[in-house]
Amino acid sequence: MTQDRIWTAALLVIGDEILSGRTQDKNIAQVARWLNLQGIRLAEVRVVGDRTEAIVEAVQQLSARNDYLFTTGGIGPTHDDITVDAIAEALGVPVVIHPRARQMLEDYYGPRGGLNEARLRMARVPEGASLIENRLSGAPGIRLGSLFLMAGVPHIAGEMLESLSGQVEGGVPMVSRTIGCWTPESEVAELLSQTEASHPGTQIGSYPFFRDGRVGANFVVRSTDIAALAGCADELLAALGARGLEVIDAEL
């Protein structure tokens, strides 16, 4: 594990159903959490529809400015599952049937009606790709260097991420601590800025909420250094309390 650099990843969410609002994306949060455990920061997310030109453009742009690119959606058995073809076009390689993927699908679908042409589509990969294990549905994900193609179904994407745990190079995981406070964030904005500045290597995020007729905010302190995190969070907790604010060392 390399600790002296920040590794970044982008997530490309693919699917007309996401843009139409018919389906709510649940993969962004689980990908972000998983990446953090690998010591990788999710730097940006883009959502595109099932259009080849949009996927090609996004893959080329996001890959160029991040260490890794993950995609979700569009690797299923139907005609609108065009992710493999679009990414192969973006990389300038042909699409081929991966022999191991075919065998995996034959084994899975043997007692489920057999491997038909639609199901065989899930064995198609950009040439040179390896597979990401998926024990839930038989259809594997796809890895090509620093590019990872995963299912759009959240629990299947989660299974694919689990199989990649410890297999992707990263740095030091980001740790965090949350302080909840019943106060408008605007009243403590300067305090937040000053506290963060006095603790190099830390970040303080402010997330306001309105509940039960009251205004509050959760302040999330983040750092890759546990000692720095503790020092910053303790100072913030004490400073908020000194102002007579109702505060707890946890999320409200």
Indicate which CATH number applies to the domain containing 78: 3.40.980.10
Same structural domain for residues 139 and 36? yes
Same structural domain for residues 62 and 137? yes
Same structural domain for residues 68 and 152? yes
Same structural domain for residues 138 and 186? no
Same structural domain for residues 118 and 219? no
CB 209 within 8 A of CB 217: yes
Same structural domain for residues 89 and 157? yes
Per the structure, the count of domains in the chain is: 2
Same structural domain for residues 144 and 191? no
pLDDT of residue 4: 67
Q: Which two tokens stand for residue 41?
A: 């920061």
CB 218 within 8 A of CB 178: yes
For the cut 50, the answer to whether the pLDDT of residue 2 exceeds it is no
Same structural domain for residues 40 and 79? yes
For the cut 50, the answer to whether the pLDDT of residue 210 exceeds it is yes
> Is 89 a member of any domain?
yes
Same structural domain for residues 180 and 140? no
Give tens-digit pLDDT for 61-72: 999 999 999 999
Mean pLDDT of 123-143: 93
> Is 136 a member of any domain?
yes
63 vs 28, 97, 110, 135, CA distance in Å? 17, 24, 37, 28
Mean pLDDT of 55-80: 97
Q: Which two tokens stand for residue 176?
A: 């965090």
> Is 64 a member of any domain?
yes
For the cut 70, the answer to whether the pLDDT of residue 200 exceeds it is yes
pLDDT range class, residue 111, cuts 50, 70, 90: very high
Mean pLDDT of 41-46: 97
> Is 138 a member of any domain?
yes
> Is 2 a member of any domain?
no
Whole-number Å distance between alpha carbons of 236 and 190: 12
Same structural domain for residues 75 and 101? yes
CB 243 within 8 A of CB 175: no
> Is 169 a member of any domain?
no
Strands 214-223 and 175-181: what pairing?
A: antiparallel
Q: Which domain holds residue 191?
A: 175-248
> Is 170 a member of any domain?
no
pLDDT of residue 1: 43
Whole-number Å distance between alpha carbons of 168 and 18: 27
Give tens-digit pLDDT for 136-171: 888 999 999 999 999 999 999 999 999 999 999 999
Domain boundary among 105, 137, 164: 164
Whole-number Å distance between alpha carbons of 77 and 122: 6
Place of tokens 């590794």: 7
Whole-number Å distance between alpha carbons of 252 and 35: 25
pTM of the model: 0.84
Helices (H), the chain: 16-20, 27-37, 52-64, 83-91, 99-109, 117-120, 154-164, 189-197, 226-242
Indicate which CATH number applies to the domain containing 185: 3.30.70.260
Residue 132 burial (C-beta neighbours within 10 Å; 0-12, 13-18, 19+) = buried
pLDDT of residue 137: 82
Same structural domain for residues 130 and 105? yes
For the cut 80, the answer to whether the pLDDT of residue 3 exceeds it is no
Question: Measuring CA to CA, which residue among 121, 130, 135 is closest to residue 83?
Answer: 121
Domain boundary among 164, 188, 216: 164
pLDDT greater at residue 93 or residue 4: 93
> Is 226 a member of any domain?
yes
Give tens-digit pLDDT for 11-32: 999 999 999 999 999 999 999 9
Same structural domain for residues 28 and 138? yes
pLDDT of residue 107: 92
